[in-house]
Structure 1
Amino acid sequence: MNRNGNAFIGGILVLLGIFMFMRGPINFGVGTIFTYFWPTLFVLPLSVFFHWMYFSVMQRRGIGLLVPGGVLFTVAIVCQVSMLFDAWHYMWPGFILAPAVGLFELYWFGGRNKYLLIPINILTILSVLFFAIFSIGTLFSNLSGLQPFIAAALIAGGGLLILMRKQRQH
């Protein structure tokens, strides 16, 4: 086997080992592999197929192939991360980002139509905003045991800022 084949199989083995460490003892079977890795097995290859069609077969003439390719690539990553870490409630804004990625590929490899940047930016900002809101909300809910200490730190910090401002004025 050549170096690229060894590197690919080695990477698969490393990822499988990390997965087994994360999940603990698992009865591995075909059902388990399909349960956890369906995005990588079905959605990601379809995305690669669209990109391969554009770059190799169509020789950069069928620019429209990049939109579903980018969308499916992003959806595959979002679904795979969600399946491995059971993080659907954090990762759902990635589905809003998916069309932005497809349109950005159309913009980047196409004629650089500046009007494509409008939906790209709107979708990206919405996605990042929702990622931030739900991540920060979850962070604060996980810190609920520390809430009295955080409240005290905020009161102390605000009081110090007020006192420092008064000292500068005199």
Structure 2
Amino acid sequence: MRVHRNALTGFLLLLLAVVIAVHADFSWSVGSIFAHFWPTLFVIPVGVFFHWLYFFLNQRGVGLLVPGGVVMTVGIVCQIASLSGSWSVMWPGFILAPAVGLLELYLFGSRNRWLLIPIGILTTLSVLFFAVFGLSALLERFSGMRHLLALAVAAAGIGFLFLRKKKDYAASQPWE
């Protein structure tokens, strides 16, 4: 039991370090702790509870892993978004949550290959939306450098237009 306590303490200290690093002006009031850590206090423990039920009490109830994986993933997504204020980028994690639950069912269950179809679809959608909205947020952050970005894209376009491979150049010569 000591290992579990140490792991929990280590996780909480890492989370605290992230908060201190991200929020220099963090106030240590009860309200601000609830505002920033509500997923860790209320959502993630439910996901841990479902996993605990499966792994330590009843290994035949593989169905416990689906809600456990979903709730745990939702809690992690909410915690990251709550600490970083990036809800507009993190929302595809809610699409990923059922994929994680189904993946746990696949890995620890009977390995029904038909589960891989919804897992693949949901994961692909989630990664696609993460990429699109993450890139959008990144470009928005660097919007002041729009002219430099336009210049770099134009230079790349010119490079693709005028730089040919040696093989293509030799094939276009009429004397060879």
TM-score strictly above 0.5: yes
Cα distance in 1 for partners of 2:98, 2:11 equals 29
TM-score of the two chains, using structure 2 as the length reference: 0.85
Q: Which residues in structure 2 correspond to 1:1-170 (within 5 Å)?
A: 5=5, 8-9=8-9, 12-58=12-58, 60-165=59-164, 168=169, 169-170=172-173
Q: CA deviation at 1:152?
A: 1.8
Cα distance in 1 for partners of 2:52, 2:7 equals 21
Q: CA deviation at 1:102?
A: 0.2
Cα distance in 2 for partners of 1:45, 1:115 equals 30
Cα distance in 1 for partners of 2:18, 2:82 equals 14
Q: Indicate the RMSD between aligned Cα atoms, in angstroms.
A: 2.1
Structure 1, 141-150 or 61-70: larger mean CA deviation: 141-150
Unaligned ranges ≥5, structure 1: none
Unaligned ranges ≥5, structure 2: none
Counterpart residue type for residue 149 of structure 1: L
Counterpart residue type for residue 139 of structure 1: L
Q: Secondary structure at the match of 1:24?
A: coil
> Residues 8, 108 of structure 1: CA spacing in aligned structure 2 closer, same or farther, 3 A cutoff?
closer
Q: Secondary structure at the match of 1:165?
A: coil
Counterpart residue type for residue 36 of structure 1: H
Q: CA deviation at 1:4?
A: 6.4
Counterpart residue type for residue 43 of structure 1: V
Q: CA deviation at 1:165?
A: 2.1
Cα distance in 2 for partners of 1:151, 1:103 equals 43
Amino-acid identity (%): 52
> Residues 160, 3 of structure 1: CA spacing in aligned structure 2 closer, same or farther, 3 A cutoff?
closer
Q: Deviations over 1:81-112 (max 9, x none)?
A: 01111111110000000000000000110011
Q: CA deviation at 1:80?
A: 0.3
Structure 1, 64-73 or 25-34: larger mean CA deviation: 25-34
Q: Deviations over 1:5-24 (max 9, x none)?
A: 56654553453244134212
